[in-house]
Amino acid sequence: MNLETICQQVNSITKEVGVFIKKQQISVADIETKSKNSLVTFVDKTAEKKLVNELSKLIPEAGFIAEEGTSTKKGEVYNWIIDPLDGTTNFIHGIPCYCVSIGLIRNEELVLGVIYEINLDELFYAWEGSKAYMNGKEINVTPTLTLEDSLIATGFPYYNYKKQTEYMNLFQDLMKNTRGLRRLGSAAVDLAYVACGRFDAFYEYSLNPWDVAAGAFIVQQAGGKVSDFSGGNNYLFGEEIIAINPHINEEFLAKVKTYFGK
Ligand code: IPD
Ligand code: CA
Ligand code: CA
Ligand code: CA
């Protein structure tokens, strides 16, 4: 099977699981706490089991890096990177912004990404060599030329206190010197929105590979630039990411350098 065919299959698997998630009703008793501010429910876990089960059939030798730990099988060449429900806190609170996010790496390189934004029924996807698409239509990052004209998304690193002062200083600068800041509560949706030109940029730290794998790939296939906070390539396992329209990348990195000293 080539990657395009695999992507088509992943698209339908991801949508099916999204439909499953949407139908679930949860109560307070269903909310488990993994660690401070980190919630999970049977919906996350069941969705992940379904994904692992279906994706195993597509590339039997592939391993998994999955948030809820359904499978820890390591693949020698291929590994799926799965967030069965990105935006769990939104989901629990009835805020309709959450998604399923599936990335695929070959050795250490991303080759496929699929994000399904469940409530808007928006499927974002790309595979190695392709453009980026949303519901069958090609998508691109914005052509915005300055940060002043940019709408920026971020996420709050509430459980990692180490770099919070640096983060808040950058936040304040961007608040004053851009069109505005948004915090949706789903890193994968944030990235999908950079890919399709709703946001000009997204940045966050304290993220895991499953939060960013699919989205980072789709942003790049949509013409965007993805890096860590130093402008380097360590964004998948390095816990920090900038995904941005390339015109404003240097201007953004200069601000990050000012506050994070990179
Ligand atoms: C979270 C979301 C959120 C981000 C958190 C993530 P989850 O993922 O992506 O936007 O700020 O750091 O943990 O737990 O809802 O899958
Ligand atoms: Ca989580
Ligand atoms: Ca996540
Ligand atoms: Ca999750």
Q: Provide the CATH number for the domain around residue 98.
A: 3.30.540.10
| Domain harbouring 179, CATH code | 3.40.190.80
Query: 167 CA distance to ligand 2 centroid (A)?
Result: 21
211 lines ligand 1 (CB under 6 A): yes
Q: Note whether 132 and 156 are same-domain residues.
A: no
Number of domains in the chain: 2
Judge whether 142 lies within some domain.
no
Judge whether 119 lies within some domain.
yes
Residue 167 sits in which domain range? 147-260
DSSP letters along the chain, please? --HHHHHHHHHHHHHHHHHHHHH----GGG-EEEETTEEE-HHHHHHHHHHHHHHHHHSTT-EEEETT-S--PPPSSEEEEEEEEE-HHHHHHT-S--EEEEEEEETTEEEEEEEEETTTTEEEEEETTS-EEETTEEE-------GGG-EEEE---TT--TTHHHHHHHHHHHHHHSSEEE--S-HHHHHHHHHTTS-SEEEEES--HHHHHHHHHHHHHTT-EEE-TTSSSTTSSSSEEEEE-GGGHHHHHHHHHHHH--
pTM > 0.95: yes
Judge whether 61 lies within some domain.
yes
For the chain, 262 residues long, give each residue's pLDDT as a single digit of tens. Answer: 899 999 999 999 999 999 999 999 888 889 889 888 888 899 999 999 999 999 999 999 999 999 999 988 999 999 999 999 999 999 999 999 999 999 999 999 999 999 999 999 999 999 999 999 999 999 999 999 999 999 999 999 877 677 899 999 999 999 999 999 999 999 999 999 999 999 999 999 999 999 999 999 999 999 999 999 999 999 999 999 999 999 999 999 999 999 999 7
Q: Note whether 46 and 16 are same-domain residues.
A: yes
Q: Note whether 63 and 8 are same-domain residues.
A: yes
From the CA of 48, the nearest ligand is: 4
155 lines ligand 1 (CB under 6 A): yes
Judge whether 152 lies within some domain.
yes
115 lines ligand 1 (CB under 6 A): no
Q: Note whether 115 and 78 are same-domain residues.
A: yes
Ligand 1: which of 32, 86, 191, 241 to mutate, judged by most atoms within 8 Å of the beta carbon?
86
Q: Note whether 226 and 174 are same-domain residues.
A: yes
